[in-house]
Amino acid sequence: MSSAHQADPGAAPSAEAPDPSGPSGPVPIIDGLPPGPRERLLGLVTRRELDPGATFMHEGDVTKSMSIIVRGRVALRLRVPERGAVTILTLDPGDIVGWSAIVPPYRATTSATTLEPTELATLPADDLRAILASDNEVAGAFLPRVMEAIAARVEATRDQLLDLFRGAEVDPW
């Protein structure tokens, strides 16, 4: 778990560029897809440059986009009663932020805050859901990669829970 600084809820993106090829080149996950699905998904991508401390997804809000980290680091934070926002996981380039954009009820389960200058490849939720529903080739190529990312997230969370409860005198359950 990261010892990241507190998020600045008012922080905003520093710039947004419409060019999916962007200044940092390839988009992790999407670039490994076959040419047809890759090009159709890249057609939806918007590049976002965010300053450190920018909170771009808020726990409980409708998730308006799914993003892939191209450069930088992002803290996932959870509101904990009497403790405030607690960082539960830190994400790196190639990780997905906001996969709840394609999973009903489409609400963020955590907040996401940049820890350093970060570039995101962002896919609008409505457009992404539409192409996944209408284009079997895109869905068949992209969704297994999303599932791999979710499985890795669950494993990382499990490892953190094991660390948290290691040496506990009693079962936490």
Q: CATH second-level architecture of 13-162?
A: Sandwich (2.60)
Residue 4 is given by DSSP the state P
Residues 20 and 88 sit within 8 Å (Cβ to Cβ): no
User: 166 versus 168: which is more confidently predicted?
Assistant: 166
Residue 49 pLDDT more than 90?
yes
Q: What's the pLDDT at 169?
A: 60
Contacts of 71 (CB under 8 A, 6+ apart): 24, 93, 117, 118, 119
* CA 11 to centroid of chain Cα atoms: 18
Rounded CA separation 171/173 (Å): 5
The per-residue DSSP string of 113-161 comes to EESSSEEEEEEEHHHHHHHHHH-HHHHHHHHHHHHHHHHHHHHHHHHHH
Which segment of 4-13, 56-65, 106-115, 135-144 scores lowest on mean pLDDT?
4-13
- pTM, entire model: 0.81
Rounded CA separation 122/143 (Å): 16
Residues 149 and 69 sit within 8 Å (Cβ to Cβ): no
pLDDT band at 28 (very low <50, low <70, confident <90, very high): very high
